[in-house]
Amino acid sequence: MNKYYPFELHCHTFHSDGEMSPKTLVNASKKRGYTGIAVTDHNTVSAVDETVALGKECGLKVIRGIEWTTFFGHITALGNNTAVDWREIDMQNIDAIIEKASKAGAVLTVAHPKRHGSPMCKGCYMELPITKYQYISGFEVWSQKTPNREGYNLRAIELYDSLLCKGNRLAAVYGYDWHREKADYSYAYTFIGDKDEPERAIKSGDTFVSAGLGLDVKVDGQSLPFGSELEAGKHVFEITVVNFFEDFCSRYGVIPKGVALKGSSCAERVAALGEKLTVNCSEGYLRIEIFGDMEGASNLTLALASPYYVIDRR
Amino acid sequence: MIVLHEHRRLTESESCRHIYIPFEAPCGGNALTVKFSFQPATLEDRQQSLEIIRRGMEIYEPGIRRNDAELEEFLPLKNMLTLSIDSPDGFIGAAHRHSVNQLHKISAQKSSRGFVPCAVTKGRWIITVSPFHFVTPYVDFDLEVSIE
How many whole angstroms separate alpha carbon A56 and alpha carbon A71? Answer: 34
The whole-number average pLDDT for the span A26-40 is 96
Q: Which amino acid is at A175?
A: G
| Chain A residues near residue B53 by CB distance under 8 angstroms | 120
How many whole angstroms separate alpha carbon A63 and alpha carbon A2? Answer: 22
Strands (E), B12-148: 19-25, 32-39, 81-87, 90-95, 101-106, 123-131, 138-147
The whole-number average pLDDT for the span A13-36 is 96
Question: Are residues A115 and B60, on separate chains, in Cβ contact within 8 Å?
Answer: yes
Q: Which amino acid is at A82?
A: T
Mean pLDDT of chain A: 95
Question: Are residues B56 and A117, on separate chains, in Cβ contact within 8 Å?
Answer: yes
| Chain B residues near residue A118 by CB distance under 8 angstroms | 56, 132-133
The pLDDT, as a whole number, for residue A68 is: 98
* Chain A closest-CA separation from residue B2 CA (Å): 26
- In CATH terms, the fold of domain A213-311 is Immunoglobulin-like (2.60.40)
The pLDDT, as a whole number, for residue B63 is: 87
The pLDDT, as a whole number, for residue B79 is: 96
* Burial label, B114 (beta-carbon count in 10 A; 0-12, 13-18, 19+): buried
| Chain B residues near residue A41 by CB distance under 8 angstroms | 96, 114
Interface of B with A in 93-122 (CB under 8 A): 93-98, 111, 113-116
A80 phi and psi, to 5 degrees? -75, 95
What pLDDT digit, counting tens, does each position of A293-305 carry? 998 899 999 999 9
Query: Closest chain B residue to A118 measured between Cα atoms?
Result: B133
B128 part of contact set with chain A, CB < 8 Å: yes
What pLDDT digit, counting tens, does each position of A217-243 carry? 999 999 999 999 999 999 999 999 987
What pLDDT digit, counting tens, does each position of B82-124 carry? 999 999 999 999 999 999 999 999 999 999 999 999 999 999 9
Q: Answer whether A263's CB lies under 8 Å from A289's CB.
A: no
Closest residue to A71, CB basis, from B96, B115, B132:
B132
- Give DSSP secondary structure letters for B5-41: EEEEEEEGGGTTS-EEEEEEESS-BS-EEEEEEEE--
- Cα distances from B23 to residues B6, B34, B36, B143, in angstroms, run 11, 12, 15, 12
Instruction: Specify the higher pLDDT residue, A249 or A148.
Output: A148
| Chain B residues near residue A16 by CB distance under 8 angstroms | 94-97, 114
Q: Answer whether A285's CB lies under 8 Å from A307's CB.
A: yes
- In CATH terms, the fold of domain A5-210 is TIM Barrel (3.20.20)
What pLDDT digit, counting tens, does each position of B37-83 carry? 999 999 999 999 999 999 999 999 988 888 999 999 999 999 999 99
Q: Answer whether A112's CB lies under 8 Å from A156's CB.
A: yes
The pLDDT, as a whole number, for residue A199 is: 98
The pLDDT, as a whole number, for residue A244 is: 78
- Cα distances from A51 to residues A11, A47, A115, in angstroms, run 11, 6, 27
The pLDDT, as a whole number, for residue A226 is: 98
Break chain A into its structural domains and give their ranges. 5-210, 213-311
| Chain B residues near residue A86 by CB distance under 8 angstroms | 94
Q: Answer whether B25's CB lies under 8 Å from B121's CB.
A: yes
Whether pLDDT at A13 is above 80: yes
ipTM score of complex: 0.96
Closest residue to A122, CB basis, from B114, B116, B132:
B132
Interface of B with A in 20-49 (CB under 8 A): none
| Chain B residues near residue A18 by CB distance under 8 angstroms | none
Task: Give the orientation angle of helix A22-31 with respect to helix A48-58, to 10 degrees.
Answer: 40
- Confidence band (pLDDT; 50, 70, 90) for A35? very high
A5-210 and A213-311 share one fold: no
Question: Are residues A44 and B96, on separate chains, in Cβ contact within 8 Å?
Answer: yes
